[in-house]
Amino acid sequence: MALSRKIAYIDLTNRRVRTAPIPLEMRKLYLGGRGLDMYLLYNHVKPGADPLGPDNVALVSAGLLTGTLATASARTHVAGKSPLTGFVGSANMGGFFGPELRMAGFDHLVITGKADGPVYLWIHDGEIEIRDASHLWGRDAHQTQTMVRQELGDDDIQVMTIGVAGENLVRFACVMTSLKNAAGRTGMGALWGSKNLKAIAARGRMDIKLAFPEEALEYNKEIITQVTSAKVSKTMQKLGTLFIWGTTNSTGLVRVRNFQSNQIPYADDIEPESIEEEMIGTAGCFGCQVHCRGRYFIKKGPYTGAYVEGPEYTSLGAFGAEVGCTTKQTVLVGNHLVNMYGLDTLETGSMIAWAMELFEKGILTEKDTDGLDLRFGNDEAVIEAVHQIAQRRGIGDILAEGPLKAAEKIGKDAIKYLIHVKGMSNLHSDERPTPALALNIATASRGSDHLRSRPAIDLYHLPEKVLRKIYGNPVPYDGPLTSDYRDYEGKPWEVIWQEMCYEAVDCLGICKYHTVFLGPNMPNFSEWPRLIQLNTGLELTSKDIWDCADRAYTLERLFNLREGLTREMDWLPDRYFDEKTDRGLPVVRGKSIDREEFKKMIDEYYKLHEWDEKGRPTKKKLEALGLQDEPTHKL
């Protein structure tokens, strides 16, 4: 059955593997994927553990519906204590690894200790082997996957791996699978590197038996129609996630030259339609009909002929607006390099943009950069900086430490120019005109984040009646809601609802683009109970799913509090309050966040969460979710 997959405990120090079933009780409490990973994180990581030490754990999981007849059920979750922030480390990726892991017999991997040399895991039909990876160390993420398949003699093997950045413990290194699918945020690649874990390979021929296969197939057809008929999906089929750029830059909702402007003019070469000219087609993840991944060849320069997938919206910002570059060649090459090295594209672009502003202000000089001319718009310098970060050379060795540690090393008010929350850089977006999105990045559990709780549909000016239909299910809400994205009123509940929505999606193993993220008519809590019941046989209500999400999210909060989180960290950089937007449409020009109004939003957000004034879950809240005795060590 779909619920019969096991959990594996892999001790790299002693090279031991133990497997166990996952109790149905834990499924009902956390579903799977990110939810169960958060339980494992809170229970298996000792308070104060060094994120790069052997006491940290590396978690890998598939969602409850991953690999089933649920649309876009491709997701894999990767977790641990973050080497970047010291708080929750959590990243999610598409592709084909998660379904393959399930077909190989496992839903969750708990990897502890540290190997005495490079290793990779070979998981196949209920068996797990720890294999030597000395010959793979030093190889990039693409080479590693090819070499593992050749070594094991099967081109259908799915491989997750770190690149050179993870080996070099770059604190925002990621884990890769296929050409571009990245568990990108919070530095999980560095965690793997610290354990000498180069890769995990999976191949499975164990059927995932569904509870009601014929009915599940028919219902999924309905869901597919719901998803693919949406305008946002049709646009993504053509342009991928790049389409978002066409709207945000035109409006004035992107950050340019680190945080000096909110719109980049004369940038036709990096518009989605221009990059589309380079595409030779699109690709999709397991079980997805949208196919939002662009495919292209690099046509000039030292990487001519390289076949690449992407770039996503984040790469367009990272190697375009943030660093002041307006050539698609820089975006395409930058996208290729971060995927090859195994770097978080968002963090890489943000760190380079920050260094460029420091260079502009004289805080960094050519003496500090060994002659690298870090002027905004210097395409060659941007590409060289990517190499230096991954290889920990020159100024890249400092930038590889991530925002707060790099700022500490540089000094001279460098921290003033960081655009980060909790030590993690923000997306290339400018939330000064959008208080709801600003609250999202300030309070997100893993740091500044657009994939944890972003109420993106707030930008659509939806009628209040529509907003109430969405945000009143499955938990009633009779507070204020407004169609104006510039307002502060009612936005805390929108953020909380999206937190629960995205947590639930990550527990189920479904792509966020197939729920209420960019499309208000997409599937959500109303459709998930039947998807779960037909595929797994598990009977849950919409409210049950909400409670699972709330339980997991509360554990994330407890973990962060245990590791030193304070209310003051649920906040924005001063520039959001002190500097006004200078460009864009009249509706967004001249905007900044009001400190007092924002403080009220935080207060309301805490109250709605049933947290005290310091952001700690109340005893009543913990008891309602059954968390009062955690950690319980049931798994």
pLDDT in tens, 176-220: 999 999 999 999 999 999 999 999 999 999 999 999 999 999 999
One domain for residues 396 and 352: yes
Q: 421 and 453: one domain? A: no
Based on the fold, state whether residues 155 and 196 are members of the same structural domain.
yes
Comparing 179-193, 284-298, 396-410, which segment has the lowest mean pLDDT?
284-298
159: enclosing H helix or E strand: strand 158-161
Q: Which domain holds residue 319?
A: 236-425
The domain spanning residue 100 has which CATH number? 3.60.9.10
| Closest listed residue to residue 523, CA positions, set 545, 539, 554 | 545
Q: Last residue of some domain: 425, 449, 464?
A: 425
CA distance 529 to 380: 51
Rounded CA gap, 316 and 305, in Å? 21
Residue 430 counted as domain residue: no
Residue 399: pLDDT above 90? yes
pLDDT confidence bin for 400, thresholds 50/70/90? very high
Do 259 and 403 lie in one domain? The reply is yes
Q: Yes or no: say if 379 and 364 are a contact pair by the CB < 8 Å rule.
A: no
Residue 227 domain flag: no
Q: 246 pLDDT band (50/70/90 cuts)?
A: confident
Let me know: does 166 contact 342? Beta carbons within 8 Å.
Answer: yes
Rounded-to-integer distance, Cα 268 and Cα 259, Å: 21
Whether the CB-CB separation of 411 and 417 falls below 8 Å is answered with no
Please check whether residues 450 and 475 belong to one and the same domain. Answer: yes
- Other beta carbons within 10 angstroms of residue 564's beta carbon come to 11
DSSP one-letter string for 386-439: HHHHHHT-THHHHHTT-HHHHHHHH-TTGGGG--EETTEEPPSB--TT-HHHHH
Q: State whether 421 and 448 are in the same domain.
A: no
Q: Closest by alpha carbon to 157, among 200, 120, 198, 197?
A: 200
The CATH code of the domain that includes 563 is 1.10.599.10
Residue 273, in any domain of the structure: yes
558 found inside a domain = yes
Percent of the chain with pLDDT over 70: 100
* Residue 393's CATH number: 1.10.569.10
Going from the C-alpha of 86 to that of each of 51, 53, 57, 58, 396, the distances in angstroms are 7, 12, 13, 14, 21
Between CA 493 and CA 82, with CA 77 as vertex, the angle to 5 degrees is: 80
Domain annotation covers residue 255: yes
Within-domain flag for 113: yes
Looking at residue 2, its pLDDT comes to 81
Last residue in a domain, options 425, 449, 481: 425
pLDDT confidence of 1, banded at 50, 70, 90? low
pTM to 2 decimals? 0.97
For residues 609 and 559, state if they share a domain.
yes
Residues 597, 493 share a domain: yes
Query: Does 164 lie in the same domain as 261?
Result: no
Same domain for 540 and 489?
Answer: yes
**Which pLDDT tens digit goes with each residue over 86-118?**
999 999 999 999 999 999 999 999 999 999 999
SS (H, E, C) 565-586: CCHHHCCCCCHHHHCCCCCCCC
Question: Residue 468's pLDDT band (boundaries 50, 70, 90)?
Answer: very high
Mean model confidence pLDDT for the chain: 96
Mean pLDDT of 168-179: 97
| % the chain with pLDDT above 90 | 96
With respect to residue 216, please indicate whether it lies within any of the assigned structural domains: no
pLDDT for position 497: 98
pLDDT of residue 541: 98
Is 229 inside any structural domain?
no
The pLDDT score that the predictor gives to residue 346 is: 97
The reply to whether 448 and 408 lie within a common domain is no
Q: What is the pLDDT of residue 39?
A: 98
Query: For the chain, what is the domain count?
Result: 3
Same domain, 383 and 508: no
